[in-house]
Structure 1
Amino acid sequence: MEKFVTIGEAAQLTGLSAKMIRHYEANGLLPRLSRTEAGYRLYNRQQLALLGLIRQARKLGFAMVQIQSLLSLWRKPDRTSREVKKLANAHLDEITQKIAELQQMQTALQQLADHCSDDDSAQCAILDGLSANTMLNSAHSPK
């Protein structure tokens, strides 16, 4: 006989909050759940595994739509590992792009901070630099 757990137990076992579990259910990430006569949700081993997969995917930064794709592949016994790897590599490419953008931001902000006199004067190289970049960007943007 299959063992079922309540949402509180599911939350404890998966490291997710009950609120997040309900959110994932509302967004269709979980199949229809069994319920007690009183209406309490009941989770089986497979649903707990799904919740664990969702939690790990979120920790790795996958978007909800990507998680839906991962879950679809997880449920599909005739999937190929190539399909899963393609999805993972696409996410890796997004992460690599975000890292590059963050490094550019870091460099630009470091340059502005390096030019700050850090004294009591009203002159501020950081604000001057930010406003100069804004003026340059608006001059080059299409109208």
Structure 2
Amino acid sequence: MGWLGWALLSAVFAAATAVLAKIGVKGVDSNLATAVRTTVVLVFAWGWAYALGAHGGLGRIERRSWMFLVLSGLATGASWICYFRALQMGDAGRVAPIDKLSVVLVILFAWAFLGEGMSVSKVVGGGLIAAGAVVLARG
């Protein structure tokens, strides 16, 4: 399966995450809910890596990669904490579109920091995503 198939599966699981989390966070402190979810992700991710034999490469990760993976993990944790708090306070159908503004930010950050090209399709598509998020959040 290519990148598109994996990306589509990611979208399906992300959608399931929003709905399942909205149900699960009811009556639970959002920080505690994030901790429970993170523990499940931790066990699942290590189980997956072990099952596929990827865990053997742990000692070969370079220092620079460690640094950026740790920073990415911290950003993920902060995102999840904010996401669960938003879900606890708002409708999933309004929170999720705002969360997906991350797509627009990725386009901008990839252009600014990774040297990825900016194109008319990225500008128009990013603008449509932003406009759609605003429309859905206001609805």
Query: Quick check: which one's helix share is greater?
Result: 2
- Normalising by the residue count of structure 2, what TM-score does the alignment of the two structures yield? 0.28
Structure showing greater relative contact order (alpha-carbon pairs closer than 8 Å, 6 or more residues apart): 2
- Normalising by the residue count of structure 1, what TM-score does the alignment of the two structures yield? 0.28
Q: Which entry has the higher C-alpha Rg, 1 or 2? A: 1
